[in-house]
A = this chain, B = another copy of it.
Amino acid sequence: MTEKYSDYTVPGLAKENGHEVAGLLQGRLHALNDLHLVLKHIHWNVVGPNFIAVHEMLDPQTELVRGFADEIAERIATLGGAPSGLSGELVDSRTWKDYPLFKADAVTHLAELDKVYSGVIEDHRDVLGKVGQIDPITEDLIIGQVKQLELFQWFIRSHIERS
């Protein structure tokens, strides 16, 4: 078997602090990996008169979330950890279930996806509170992700809201 921690963390930070932050980020990495799989899953299973608009709206978001996963994983490694991108570990450690829908119309999917986003954002904000004490660089990275995730959630909510 291979090691999970290097003997360093970033300069100017105590090693145990750096590794603690890396540990908190691992949960965020699993969440983001699951999220981009779900976004693709909906991309393939949405039906009904708004098919094409929703189908195309999801792809740039998928790209963004995949980039966020990469950013988190490389931060873990930078802090001296060994990021896990493995599906088995993801499923074992997550606190939520598989997304429940297959073929369904746009509004049904978006209402469900809204819940997924609320979960991811709440957990991001939770980790944000914890890492802010220790490492302002990681804090800034998470703020940047929350900003984009909340913006996209507004897209979703705008579809399902009625004036």
Give me the interface of A with B, judged by CB distance under 8 Å.
Answer: 1-4, 6, 8, 10-12, 33-34, 37-38, 40-41, 44-55, 57, 69-70, 73-78, 82-91, 97-108, 117-118, 121-122, 125-126, 128, 132, 136-137, 139-141, 143-144, 146-147, 150-151, 153-155, 157-163
Contacts and interface: CB of A to CB of B under 8 A. Distances in A.
A163 B2 contact: yes
A147 B137 contact: yes
A122 B12 contact: yes
A101 B51 contact: no
Contacts of A8: 157
Given A73-B40, A162-B47, A87 B91 contact: yes
A87 B3 contact: no
12 contacts: A1-B101, A4-B102, A12-B121, A37-B86, A38-B85, A41-B86, A44-B77, A44-B83, A45-B77, A48-B161, A49-B106, A50-B50
Contacts of A88: 91, 97-98
Contacts of A70: 40
Contacts of A91: 87-88, 91
Contacts of A48: 158-159, 161-163
